[in-house]
Each structure stands twice: as structure tokens, then as C-alpha cells.
Amino acid sequence: QMLKVFVTRSIPQEGMKLLQKAAMCDVSVWDSDEPLPRAELLKKVEGAHGLLCLLSDRIDAEVLDAAGPNLKVISTMSVGFDHLAIDEIKKRGIRVGYTPDVLTDATAELTVALLLATARRLPEGIQEVKSGGWSSWKPLWLCGYGLSGSTVGVIGLGRIGLAIAQRLKPFGVKRRLYSGRQPKPQAGELGGEYVPLDTLLCESDFVVVSCSLNPDTQELCNKAFFSKMKNTAVFINTSRGAVVNQEDLLDALTSGQIAAAGLDVTTPEPLPTDHPLLRLNNCVVLPHIGSATFSTRGVMAELSAQNLLSGLTEDAMPSELKL
């Protein structure tokens, strides 16, 4: 019996090759760089045994019902899985694959790049050069904040959070604080200090959000959160947009409650081009490119294909999400 596989977007060759080589699979792909409309997803998924999806595909009861009883594996080409209705998936006995570890380095690098770009005001500077606003070297022009001697607070010291903290250490960061559900043994060699969230917010010059999105972290960064931060502090989020209450962030940035924000993730994605956050000089917004290196995306595609195929043959997946 041929097993039906649906892939919701064009993915890198490294993944497609594996799927096309699998003799047991009848693979169809939404062969575009743009997302498929919801109605198409509901149609294409019908009868599928395996679904390979992206973080921009919301996989809920409606999609699972449209797929029907054949569906036994969902493989997402992402480390985040907040777009998957885990309870519904579990209820139906469907297995889930995802791509942790392989994007840790790329995402940590992007986070450091965004932090420096925001703190040292690179987008503003580039704009001034292009627009003719650069008239002279000026003692107080385009000053920002440096990492040397600073305190960095990481919220959620998981794989990526730890990789961020490790990369920031050589910049001469004085203290590395972190908060989360429990202290992490891996923080030891880093000299990481486990502190309550309030302490982290009060004492950090850079607050970096690297936790997963779940009911506990939804809108964790709200008015009360920002009000505890220093007026000179920089806020960075490369996890999920919904961890932040964006109205409250906007207020904190316009009122001077905090100095600046760098976001790789927003609600919604894409952010409408007339969104007020995009009018602020002290807010740097990137289009969710944390894992976007050629090699990382190739490995993510390969791993998600391997996860899918292992799920179909009822073998152990290289990276299965424990449900």
C-alpha cells in the first residue's frame, strides 16, 4: 500500500530528496514559497498518512479531521510546536517529529546579531548614511548601549538560551542571570545565576526572551514586566511573538520605560507594514529568520523528512516530540 504524504511548502532539496527516494511514499507538495490557503490545506491533507508542515501552518482539530484516520505522523520543520494542537494530536494517537538542536547555533547567532544591532542602533545608522542624515562625526550621535561590563538576563535557559549566553560571555558581560521553571546544571560552567524573574528584570541591561510559548509564557512580557525593567535596558525576543503583549511593549518603548527592543517574532507574522512598532526608531523588527542559514535550513528539511519516514514505518524517529 502506498502511503500518502503531504508537504505544505517547498522545502530544501535535502529533505525532498529523502522523501522522493522512499518507494513506499506517494508524495505531494504545495510547490510554492508562499503558504497554501487554509481551504487548500484542508483539501490536500485528506487521506494523508504523513504530514510535513511548517510553523506557519496551524494544525488543529479541523485539519486532523480533514486528514482522517490514516494520519499517523506529523513532522514539523521547526523546533517550536505551539502551532500544533497537541491535545487533539495525542487523542488521535498521532506521532509528532520536530527539529530541536540543529537550529540552536543559527538561532543563537541571530539573537546576538539582533541584540547588537538594536543596542548599537545599526538600522538607524544605515538609514542615516543612505538618506544623507550623516553630516559629520558627532560626539553624541547614534549612541547606544554596550555589552562590556553589562548584566544579561535570559528568560528560558534551554538549548537556545544557553547557546546565547555562551556567545555573549566573550563580550565581557559581567553577570549572566537566568530565570525559568528550575535551575539548570548546564548553567554552572557559564557562571549563570538562577534568579527570580523580578530580580532578572530589575538588574539586567539586556533582557533576552528564549522560552517556548505555552500557557505559562503567553503574554509573560506585559505592562508589569516592562515596568520592572531599567529605562536603559534593551529587550530582545527571538522565541514567539505571543510571549509579548505588543500593546504593552509599544507603550514601554514610546514612554521611555525601556530603551529599545529587537524582535525576530511578532503577532501576527507578518506584521502589517503600518503597525506602530515599525514607526519607532528604537524598535528593530526582523521577519522570523532565527534559523535562516542555508546549511541549517537544509539540515532542518532533512531531519523533518527523516522524522516523517520513521513515523510512517513505525520506527524510532531521530527527533520525536514526547507527547
Site for ligand GLV, rule CB under 6 A: 55, 78-80, 103, 290-291
Q: How far is the CB of 83 from ligand GLV (least distance, A)?
A: 9
Q: How far is CA 206 from CA 30, 114, 203, 287, in A?
A: 41, 12, 9, 21
Q: How far is the CB of 292 from ligand GLV (least distance, A)?
A: 9
Contacts of 237 (CB under 8 A, 6+ apart): 208, 209, 221, 243, 244, 261, 262, 263, 264, 265
Round to whole Å and give the CA distance between 11 and 228: 42
Contacts of 173 (CB under 8 A, 6+ apart): 147, 148, 149, 150, 151, 152
Q: How far is the CB of 31 from ligand GLV (least distance, A)?
A: 22
Pick the closest to residue 280 from 109, 113, 127, 116 (CA basis): 127
Round to whole Å and give the CA distance between 47 and 28: 12
Q: How far is the CB of 78 from ligand GLV (least distance, A)?
A: 3
Q: Which is nearer to ligand GLV, 164 or 233 (CB)?
A: 164
C-alpha cell at 262: 529587537
Round to whole Å and give the CA distance between 153 and 164: 11
Q: How far is the CB of 108 from ligand GLV (least distance, A)?
A: 12
State the amino acid at position 286 in one-letter form: L
Q: How far is the CB of 76 from ligand GLV (least distance, A)?
A: 8
Q: Which is nearer to ligand GLV, 80 or 158 (CB)?
A: 80
Q: Which is nearer to ligand GLV, 46 or 269 (CB)?
A: 269
Q: Which is nearer to ligand GLV, 78 or 237 (CB)?
A: 78
Q: Which residues are catalytic?
A: 288
Give just the sign of the alpha carbon dihedral 87, 88, 91, 95. negative
Q: Which is nearer to ligand GLV, 104 or 246 (CB)?
A: 104
Find where cell 534559523 sits. Answer: 291
Contacts of 68 (CB under 8 A, 6+ apart): 46, 47
C-alpha cell at 3: 502511503
Q: Which is nearer to ligand GLV, 180 or 290 (CB)?
A: 290
Q: How far is the CB of 191 from ligand GLV (least distance, A)?
A: 28
Q: How far is CA 131 from CA 127, 239, 279, 284, in A?
A: 6, 33, 16, 18
Beta strands in 98-173 (DSSP E): 151-155
C-alpha cell at 60: 488543529
Q: Which is nearer to ligand GLV, 81 or 173 (CB)?
A: 81
